[in-house]
Amino acid sequence: MGVKQVLDSNGNPVLKDGKLVFVVTHDKTSKVDRTIRVSLERSFVGTPLQAKREHEKAKEEVRRIIWEREQQGCSWGKLVEKFGYAYEMGIGFHEPVSKATAIDTSKGLERHTQYWWKRPASDISIADVKALLLDLEAQGMSKSRRRAIKSYISVAWVWGKENGFLKGNPPNPTAGAKVGRSSKKGQEKMPDILTLTEIRKLIELATVHHHPWRDIWAMALLTGMRSGELYALEWSDVNMESKLVSVTKTLNVRFKTITTTKGGYWRSVPINGDLEGLLAELRVKAQQRPVEERKYILPRFKDWMRGNQARILRGFCVAVGLPSVKFHALRACFATQLLQSGVTAPTVMSICGWKDYETMMIYIRLAGIETKGATDKLKFITPAAAMAHVVPLFGQRDEP
């Protein structure tokens, strides 16, 4: 940093129009905001004394740029960092929020506003927020999630302004930025699901290809348990005498801890012949794992702990020509197959841990048990009319 004379490969001074060539550089970080750093480098032709004077000009220019940036307040990235810590610690907020809410907010801002990171927070405009929301909509993000991202931006921005990190009096960039359109009110998307034939094909192909997640998928299909519940399942939860698996805990992916189930209560899943055979296989495999992992029924994959179970299942399904479904769809498969086999809805709710009958109705409709056979007695097409359409498929009839 400073003044450096330019030399050629032989160590001789480089000349331009008979004058010496210098490189003038200056680098400085703001004492007010350490994220503000300005570097300046330029070439100069002249005498050493003139080069020193040019360096003083460069220093002055760097100081001016830093001062201007300080007046704009901290960058958006620095604001989000400060906000995230304060939000989680409850510093500067009227009402404390849960740690989960604080983490979700910070992660949402980091993921979706990353390209604002180095910009002054006070420069973020309504147009920027509108452009972001339109981009998220184009990516297929739901309206509720877009509304949440907009809320995250607003909360962080207001906190920054109240705590003096935004200079001047800029308007809230989320004001007037509409979330956009969504699907028609009341429109329900049909859940992804596999048929019985596709379920069998999934397990068969996973076995043939020795896929490491084969046992996990099979357990999900035979128990209807959620991903986190399967991850936390231990051998102590299995009672082979009563033929029951106790579901008492789950993995919290966000905090990497084992907690109570989603509903906060335990339940039991019956062990049928297929599940009994699978458990026998898994008990043998468990002995091949490290000692500290042997108490768990299923293997401990890093991708599972990171919440990548849906991506892995989708990838395999696409590779073998099956419908691309989420991991949670295996739970839906379990429920619909039980309903189609004649198990009552209250029993399925008890096994799967649902308390909301509206949720159960989704699977009842998928199973078709309410409407199955309802149209069998409708006879609108007479046998003669039916034959008039069927016979020509096998050749032309002789003219009378």
- The sign of the dihedral angle between the CA atoms of 264, 270, 274, 275 is positive
Please return the burial class of 87, using the count of CB atoms within 10 Å of its CB with bins 0-12, 13-18 and 19+.
buried
Report the pLDDT averaged over residues 188-215. Answer: 90
347 band by pLDDT with thresholds 50, 70 and 90: very high
Least confident of 43-57, 129-143, 163-177, 265-279: 163-177
CA-nearest of 126, 360, 50 to 224 is 360
pLDDT at 391 over 70: no
pLDDT of residue 69: 65
Annotate 97-135 with b (16+ C-beta within 10 A) or e (fewer): eeeeebeebbebbeebbeebbeebbbebeeebbbebbee
Domain 76-162 has CATH 2.60.40: no
**pLDDT tens track for 324-345:** 999 999 999 999 999 989 899 8
pLDDT of residue 384: 62
Domain 196-367 has CATH 1.10.760.10: no
Report the pLDDT averaged over residues 177-185. Answer: 63
**318/361: higher pLDDT:** 318
Percentage with pLDDT > 90 across the chain: 41
pLDDT at 167 over 80: no
38 band by pLDDT with thresholds 50, 70 and 90: confident
Q: How many CB atoms lie within 10 A of CB 305?
A: 13
CA-nearest of 262, 272, 273, 268 to 227 is 262
**pLDDT tens track for 254-312:** 667 888 887 778 899 999 999 999 999 999 999 999 999 999 999 999 999 888 999 99
Please return the burial class of 329, using the count of CB atoms within 10 Å of its CB with bins 0-12, 13-18 and 19+.
buried
Distance CA 328, CA 145 (A): 19
Most confident by average pLDDT, 150-164, 242-256, 309-323: 309-323
- The sign of the dihedral angle between the CA atoms of 147, 148, 154, 155 is positive
Distance CA 143, CA 180 (A): 7
393 band by pLDDT with thresholds 50, 70 and 90: very low
pLDDT of residue 184: 46
pLDDT at 5 over 60: yes
Distance CA 40, CA 1 (A): 10
Assessment of whether the complete model's pTM goes beyond 0.95: no
Distance CA 64, CA 59 (A): 9
160 band by pLDDT with thresholds 50, 70 and 90: confident
394 band by pLDDT with thresholds 50, 70 and 90: very low
DSSP per position, 278-307: HHHHHHHHHTTS-GGGTTBSS---HHHHTT
Non-local CB neighbours of 380 within 8 Å, separated by 6+ positions: none
pLDDT of residue 196: 93
Please count the residues of the chain: 400
**180/5: higher pLDDT:** 5
- What the block records as the tokens of 348 is 């399925």
115 band by pLDDT with thresholds 50, 70 and 90: confident
